[in-house]
Chains A and B, each alone.
Chain A
Amino acid sequence: MSSISVTRIQRELKDIKSECSGQNIKIELYNDEYTNLRGEIVGPPETPYHGGVFKLIIKIPESYPFNPPKVSFETKIWHPNISSVTGAICLDILKDQWAAALTLRTVLLSLQALLSDAEPDDPQDAVVARQFKENKRAFLKTAKFWAQHYAHAPGPVDKDCVEKLKKATEMGFFKDVSLEALSKYSWNLETAIQHLTN
């Protein structure tokens, strides 16, 4: 690993400790090499993600900061620009709009902003993006339920979701698989079950 990437990460980690107390973001080393980090962002207010804690996997390429870090969600999330399956993120600054002066901190702040402002026309998850555009109520309901289920977001849980998820699991389907099917079919239990049995 080139020395500039190591010294820059060291530098960034030091800066983050002194600056990020009030910003609901966190970055730390995952191992002693500076190639593998873990991040955390808290879901911003006035979004279905509010208060949820989303863990991020951050991989630093050898050519950092001349090339962007590779970032994906470890915590499952229902968002048009993030894969509900793999956690892969569609964000321009992590691709061709990366600039060497951007830092992990600015990346995490941008991800927080992405949670507030989805861009369904440039989707990473086509199913989520379609629901976002065609059935916003179902989208908000699902995104919030996922945030509570996977990211420990606070607040009363949607009873309809809990009930349908319980029914699906009682039929012998795994919880994650059931939740995925129900979410995909906008909480229509019958179609979700039909999909699961096929």
Chain B
Amino acid sequence: MEPSTDQPGTSHSTTNPISDGSGENNGQFECNICLDTAKDAVISYCGHLFCWPCLHQWLETKPNRQECPVCKAGIGKDKVVPLYGRGSTNNQDPREKLPPRPQAQRPEAENRNPGFPGLNFGDGSFQMSFGIGAFPFGFFGTLFNINDGRPRPPPFGGAQYQDEQMLSRVFLWVAVILMFWLFFL
């Protein structure tokens, strides 16, 4: 059965003003949830007034039934309008004040292979593989060692460094040739 006739905050409170003791409130601007003067006020499309923290908690309580607590119209974070009174110094959207629920994160898998999955000097030998779809610029990025958290190259001047420099140059040329080959095939 339906909840009985009158709903707080609508016609009722205008015809029968409720004093909250502070003497400055006639009941029209009371939150429909805490029944106190609405703080960080938002208004639903159906015209019902709430404190944003109160409405937020209601929406959290009923994640599967996002309905206006007064009239059961659809409601949600994107279906309310913040209210700013005259002279309010802080016009921050109340919906932004409350820390929004932490979003699910999808961290990148840690990349142990330096660079593009094409070059690997790991064990002395090297492997080389790249799909046709792989755009060669990614390849250059690797060769010119764009710093993005991958392992730094070996110290400048060492024998290993020289070897790798040479290898790098060889691969650069291989890459350029391959690119031309791909383009003019």
Contacts and interface: CB of A to CB of B under 8 A. Distances in A.
Interface of A: 4, 7-8, 11-12, 15, 18-19, 63, 65-67, 91-93, 97, 99-103, 106, 109-110, 112-114, 117, 119
Given A15-B18, A66-B57, A106-B6, A4 B1 contact: no
Contacts of B57: 66
B158 to A, nearest CB: 65
A101 B36 contact: no
Q: Chain A interface mostly helix, strand, loop or mixed?
A: helix
A65 B1 contact: no
B10 to A, nearest CB: 9
Interface range on chain B (Cβ under 8 Å from partner)? 20 to 34
24 contacts: A4-B54, A7-B34, A8-B35, A12-B35, A18-B18, A65-B34, A66-B58, A92-B1, A99-B3, A99-B67, A99-B68, A99-B69, A99-B70, A99-B72, A101-B8, A101-B9, A101-B69, A101-B70, A103-B35, A106-B4, A106-B7, A112-B4, A114-B1, A117-B1
Interface string B4-39: 111111000000101010000000000011111000
B61 interface: yes
Interface of B: 1, 3-9, 16, 18, 20, 32-36, 48, 54, 57-58, 61, 67-70, 72
